[in-house]
Amino acid sequence: MHAEKILVDIGRLREIERPGTSPGRARRAMAAVHAGPEGALMALPVTRRDVTAALALSCLSGVVRGHAVSAQERGASPAIGDRVNRLERQLEDLRGTLKIPGISAAVVKDQKLLWVKGFGSADVENTTAATPETNYRIASLTKPFASTLLMQLVERGKLDLDEPMAKYSPEFRQRFGRGPITVRHVLTHTSHDPSGDTYWYDGYRFSFLSDVVARASGHPFRELLVKNILDAIGMADSVPGQDVLDDRAKWSAFLDADHARRYEAGLGKLAKPYRLDGAGTVRSIYPPRGISAAAGLVSNVIDLAKYDLAIDAHTLVRAETQGRAWTPATTFDGRKLPYGLGWFVQSHEGARLVWHYGYWPESFSSLYLKLPERKLALLLLANSDGLSAPFSLGGGDVTRSAFAGSFLRIFVREESLGRALPDPRWSQANDRFNAEVEQIATQTGGYRYDAEKASHELLTRWLDDRRRAAPR
């Protein structure tokens, strides 16, 4: 598909709107990106604009907003369009069931943005639709970005993950003492007693990794995030914290007029937050406006797809470095824990899953699920907590999520079985849902829908709790 056609379909990817970047030059830039040993973009024999254009062209080639690309266009199996259409229906069913005002979604496959769509409303009161370009507070999906920055510093010899946190963060030392808590312990959520042997998801302690980035690099976390990731791969709609424009002098190292214009535009596309109150949704308030290693990035699914592409292209860190980040921590006796270096890691149906979720209660939620060996990823952003709150994902099992489970059933399990599996209707009461999946399980040749039953019970329990908690 020609670059101009991509621009017509996507519309707002400014980094390839500028004239003078030919498809051939973009391809050469992408080759340079693949060759770069440490993601040191400034050392490449092409401009940053060319690198950005290459990433955008590779990511967006063949995509039509809101639709699966035809098999003829992509050279894919004819079944892929049907799978995407079914996923779309499952997401809309779940959105309605959980009363989520708006969701934006994307599927990335084989280093292409296969499908992208918005569902529902970014702003209910003003009838603003959620689109692929809608920005959200992505909450803890910020953590993988922090991991990337830390692993860049490791590659460049500026950071040893086994050094004590107290060396890098005076505030951490003041709050938690000079004990044996290392950077690795905080990055793997194993900093609770006994440190290194116990998994306990702790976003607050993770936030102190901002100090580690700053001390090891000599630049504030926010500045390094902009220069080493957001600008480097053309995440032009993303904003490094909702408060970034509050003190422009403080961030003058990167906040020039162009950045300020982009951030103003990005914040103008930020979805309104909502919470479930009884049987309906009501406007909520935005989370704290700042950013840290733990949370605070503002982004959309198209920009996150660029990040996914850059990971697979080894643009930001080497393949072996990314592999270290995706290796689960282990206990003293060798048991695997559910978290690596800034990423959840688990296996499902013989496939490796690396993922993260975001959850800011009563405002925003998100999910990034990646299957590296299958070159497949799902990105979901929402303007309520309904993607995450019902499913207790901090325990480390993404298959508890009805959203992730539907994606895995359609894109992974069906491929393994070689047959389509009927999709359940999530909006039913729990007893009717169980009866339906037991009936359709007789058609599947052994697939029992146990994960779907468990997910439906979780979301039903959460909805019941929300109704009981509503003001009388």
Own/partner pairs, 256-261, CB within 8 angstroms, 24+ separation: 259/226
Q: Which residue has the tokens 């470095």?
A: 321
Looking at the fold, whether 36 and 102 belong to one and the same domain comes out as: no
Looking at the fold, whether 45 and 158 belong to one and the same domain comes out as: no
Average pLDDT, consecutive stretches of 10 residues, N- to C-terminus, the chain (472 residues): 28 33 40 31 34 50 45 53 96 98 98 97 98 99 99 98 97 89 98 95 98 98 99 99 97 97 99 91 96 99 99 98 98 97 95 98 98 98 99 98 98 90 97 96 88 98 91 67
H or E element at residue 368: strand 364-371
Q: Does some domain include residue 448?
A: no
What residues contact 249, with CB distance under 8 A and at least 6 apart?
A: none
- Least Cα distance to 341 among 108, 164, 182 occurs for 182
Of 14, 34, 61, the one marking the end of a domain is 61
Query: Exposed/middle/buried for 334, CB within 10 Å: 0-12, 13-18, 19+?
Result: exposed
Three-class SS of residue 340?
Answer: coil
CATH number at residue 381: 3.40.710.10
CA atoms within 13 A on the CB side of 319: 7
Q: Does some domain include residue 74?
A: yes
How confident is the model at residue 77, as a pLDDT?
54
Looking at the fold, whether 46 and 72 belong to one and the same domain comes out as: no
Q: Amino acid identity of 283? A: R
How confident is the model at residue 381, as a pLDDT?
99
Of 343, 369, 403, the one marking the end of a domain is 403
Q: Does some domain include residue 267?
A: yes
- Least Cα distance to 132 among 307, 376, 303 occurs for 303
Looking at the fold, whether 80 and 189 belong to one and the same domain comes out as: yes
What residues contact 170, with CB distance under 8 A and at least 6 apart?
A: 211
Looking at the fold, whether 54 and 151 belong to one and the same domain comes out as: no
Which tokens go with 336?
A: 């695997």
| Residues forming a β-bridge with 330 | 336
Looking at the fold, whether 56 and 200 belong to one and the same domain comes out as: no
Three-class SS of residue 395?
Answer: helix
Of 353, 374, 403, the one marking the end of a domain is 403
Q: Does some domain include residue 292?
A: yes
Looking at the fold, whether 205 and 288 belong to one and the same domain comes out as: yes
CA 396 to each of CA 89, 339, 363, 393: distance values in angstroms, whole numbers, following the listed order: 26, 7, 22, 6
CA 339 to each of CA 86, 138, 160, 261, 328: distance values in angstroms, whole numbers, following the listed order: 31, 19, 19, 37, 5
Phi, psi of 201 (to 5 degrees): -60, 120
How confident is the model at residue 9, as a pLDDT?
31
Residue 9 belongs to domain spanning: 1-61
Q: Beta strand 280-283 with 351-360: parallel, antiparallel or unpaired? A: unpaired
pTM as predicted = 0.87
Q: Does some domain include residue 187?
A: yes
Alpha carbons 351 and 405: distance in angstroms, whole number: 13
CA angle 112, 118, 121 (to 5 degrees): 160
Q: Does some domain include residue 245?
A: yes
CA 461 to each of CA 244, 436, 448, 466, 471: distance values in angstroms, whole numbers, following the listed order: 38, 19, 21, 9, 18
Q: Does some domain include residue 420?
A: no
Looking at the fold, whether 76 and 32 belong to one and the same domain comes out as: no
Q: Does some domain include residue 296?
A: yes
How confident is the model at residue 87, as a pLDDT?
98
Q: Amino acid identity of 390? A: P
The separation between CA 369 and the C-alpha centre of its own chain, rounded to angstroms, equals 7
Dihedral, 228, 232, 235, 238 alpha carbons, nearest 10: 30
Looking at the fold, whether 353 and 243 belong to one and the same domain comes out as: yes
Alpha carbons 294 and 358: distance in angstroms, whole number: 10
Question: What's the number of domains the chain is made of?
Answer: 2
Looking at the fold, whether 44 and 71 belong to one and the same domain comes out as: no
Looking at the fold, whether 33 and 138 belong to one and the same domain comes out as: no
Q: Beta strand 351-360 with 376-382: parallel, antiparallel or unpaired? A: unpaired
- Least Cα distance to 237 among 265, 213, 207, 277 occurs for 265
Looking at the fold, whether 152 and 39 belong to one and the same domain comes out as: no
Q: 178: how many CB neighbours lie within 10 A of its CB?
A: 12
